[in-house]
Structure 1
Amino acid sequence: MARALSRWEGEGGAQGMQGKQDGTNLLANPERQVLEWLGAALVIEWNDLPTDVQRAIFRHAAAVKDSYDPIQLKARIARFLHDHKDDVEGS
């Protein structure tokens, strides 16, 4: 999981989100870290989730505030999930 999180951060994951006007900049570091680990765990388990759950999570993740381009964000999320579809905890 640590490697998946490291790759995610290397691609602009948590760092790319900091300072946005969606409330994430209001989170304390421990809270942000919990969300980062939850996100990494979700990516690891993504392929094992039922399709309806995947769609619901994707829909919630892509429900954005005015500070994001929703089409671009959906594309980034989809590309990230596709690129990491074979990630497993042991890799």
Structure 2
Amino acid sequence: MSHPHFIDVHVGKRLREFREAKRLSQIDLASAQAIAFQQVQKYENGHNRISASRLHVAAYFLKVPVADFFERLDDSAPEGLSG
């Protein structure tokens, strides 16, 4: 089994931070997205990659810009890309 990509782990951690800052449960966030709370757990742990559309909905619900999920990431080129 492959390991989660570090960006997926980072975005999941940020999702948890924003959710907890709003004092919301995983069930609250899951209900807003019409998914099971176990799926939120997988996103937050980085085990499942959150899609762009689902991330957009989460950002709207949590009242944070989508870009905030990527804060504090290294600005180096992604693997396999050169500039």
TM-score (norm 1): 0.35
User: Relative CO higher for 1 or 2, CA cutoff 8 Å, sep ≥ 6?
Assistant: 1
More helix by share: 1
TM-score (norm 2): 0.36
